[in-house]
Amino acid sequence: AQSVTQLDSQVPVFEEAPVELRCNYSSSVSVYLFWYVQYPNQGLQLLLKYLSGSTLVESINGFEAEFNKSQTSFHLRKPSVHISDTAEYFCAVTKAAGNKLTFGGGTRVLVKP
């Protein structure tokens, strides 16, 4: 079975500052890794994913995450946040080609002007 730990439940950050959201996973098999975002009053949306290949993956809105197998981590970063990035972010894992996601507890990001 897989498990995910998001070490920070809340991250306050000023606009245009960098942010890092930490995610560590546990699995005995190969995994796929994901970051989902939930904006206020909306459903979960896929932000980015790692399936295989390059360990650095990017989203269209400036986020990036790096798969680190030795540290079993998949931290999410953005060099300069906007007010619109205020949301809750969930890290998730599934075994490669598996059928159920295991989510972390989420990290709330509050971007302050």
Q: Which is nearer to other proteins, 104 or 111 (CB)?
A: 104
Say if CB 112 and CB 21 are below 8 A apart: no
Contacts to other proteins by CB under 8 A: 4, 6, 9, 32, 34, 36, 42-46, 49, 51, 90, 92, 94, 97-106
Q: Which is nearer to other proteins, 29 or 70 (CB)?
A: 29
Least gap, CB of 113 to other proteins (angstroms): 26
The partner residues of 108 in beta bridges, in order of sequence, read: 10, 88
Q: Which is nearer to other proteins, 72 or 94 (CB)?
A: 94
Class of residue 106 by CB neighbours under 10 A (exposed 0-12, middle 13-18, buried 19+): middle
